[in-house]
Amino acid sequence: MAEADRIRIVHVVYGFGVGGLENVIVQLINRLPAARFEHVVLALTTVSEFRQRIVHPDVRFIALHKPPGHAIALYPRLYRQLRQLRPQVLHTCNLAALEVVPLAWLARVPLRVHAEHGWDAHDPHGRNPRYQRLRRLYRPFVSHYVAVSRDLDDYLGLAVGVPPRRRSLIANGVDTDTFAPAHGARQAVPGCPFQPGWHWLVGTVGRLQTVKNQPLLARAFVRALRENPAMRDTARLVIVGEGPLRAEVEQVLAGAGMADLAWLPGARHDVADVLRSLDLFVLPSQAEGTSCTLQEAMACGLPVVATAVGGTPDLVREGVTGHLVAPDDEVALARALVQAFSCPGDAARQGRAARDEAVQRFGLRGMLRQYQQLFDPFADPINA
């Protein structure tokens, strides 16, 4: 296929760093047919080393370094950039990138797809009237919407007024070959002071920011060990990720005299290996779309405990693949940790069921096929 025949997609995000949304873009770029699609990543703020996960050398990255606040000052530059790039598809993600869509309409970009991946920390349930008005204001300029979970799809219909014909529910997919259970004995990851098999490891992976609520897990871990002293011999906490909540998590643990029972290594590039070393995965979020990390943990054969928010109840089958607890409920989360620790046979069965769910329900192939059909409706089905 000639270069001129390729469909150029401009993916617009607030910042291109470590995260589930960004991981979806990486999978689209790496796995959609390179002969048919070319990609540009446009970040309103910055592009991090996360770009190294993209395997194609011809992907362009543009960072606009937008200061805090509205992007009006960048509109002329954005418009010129879009006119220069002349993409066939604009793919914006979440509210922060939505204001680019009218500019793309003015620049005559034929297909303008907007994806909602989850809520922001300052509006964890999508109830802010101002943001709802903004979404309705931009609605005429969006060709098609994507929601990654049922609750986000319902929100687009009820709160934003997007008709069914203009929206699709495309759940995030996970690479179930990369994220798979350990073969043989579980191994400690480099730098971890704890030994799988000897220690009982409970952990989470994600940016340490308000909406992910890792301090809740730290408090629940402390409560569980205080109320069940026998857990202190072997129970250990692993929190992977970096962000503004790190100091709060460390303070919770240090204040309880349990800093030595936790490992906070920051961001890691070996997330699959970290997950395989755990006994239990916890997602303590205040809000979620479809959590890629939760899917990855399930694909690794882990039982899960998660807060019943956003699209998470669509992923976790209560008592089958894990347990759901109310958001911000420290007591309920601590109780769920104790239950998983005390009933290893049940936890193991839930882990096996979680792996089966991951393989059957949210492998990458289905997600890629739906996006390919959306970006290029006349293409042959993907064989990824």
For 13, the 3-state DSSP assignment is strand
The one-letter amino acid code at 303 reads P
Find the angle CA(206)-CA(208)-CA(212) to the nearest 5 degrees: 70
Domains 3-173+363-375 and 200-361 share a fold: yes
Q: Considering the domain 3-173+363-375 in this protein, what is its CATH number?
A: 3.40.50.2000
Q: Determine how many CB atoms are found less than 10 A away from the CB of residue 342.
A: 12
User: What pLDDT is attached to residue 175?
Assistant: 92
User: What pLDDT is attached to residue 98?
Assistant: 95
For 142, the 3-state DSSP assignment is coil
Helix, strand, coil percentages (3-state) for the chain, rounded to 5, are 45, 20, 40
pTM higher than the cut 0.85? no
Strands (E), the chain: 7-13, 37-43, 60-63, 89-93, 111-116, 144-147, 167-169, 200-205, 235-240, 262-266, 280-283, 304-307, 322-325
The one-letter amino acid code at 343 reads C
Could you read off the pLDDT tens digit of each residue along the chain, which spans 384 residues? 455 689 999 999 999 988 888 989 999 999 999 999 999 999 999 999 889 999 999 999 999 999 887 788 899 999 999 999 999 999 999 999 999 999 999 999 999 999 999 877 677 778 889 999 999 999 999 999 999 989 999 999 999 999 999 999 998 999 999 999 998 889 889 999 999 999 999 999 999 999 999 999 999 999 999 999 999 999 999 999 999 999 999 999 999 999 999 999 999 989 999 999 999 999 999 988 889 899 999 999 999 999 999 889 999 999 999 999 999 999 999 999 999 999 999 999 999 999 999 999 888 988 999 999 999 976 555 444
Question: Hey, what CATH topology would domain 200-361 get?
Answer: Rossmann fold (3.40.50)
**Alpha-carbon distance values, 118 to 21, 165, 170, 211 (Å):** 9, 21, 13, 10
For 170, the 3-state DSSP assignment is coil
User: What pLDDT is attached to residue 1?
Assistant: 44
The one-letter amino acid code at 239 reads I
User: What pLDDT is attached to residue 384?
Assistant: 42
Domain boundaries, the chain: 3-173+363-375, 200-361
- Distance in angstroms (rounded) separating the CA atoms of residues 94 and 98: 7
User: What pLDDT is attached to residue 18?
Assistant: 82
Where do the H-state alpha helices sit in 228-343? 246-255, 271-276, 292-299, 312-315, 330-342
Q: Determine how many CB atoms are found less than 10 A away from the CB of residue 171.
A: 20
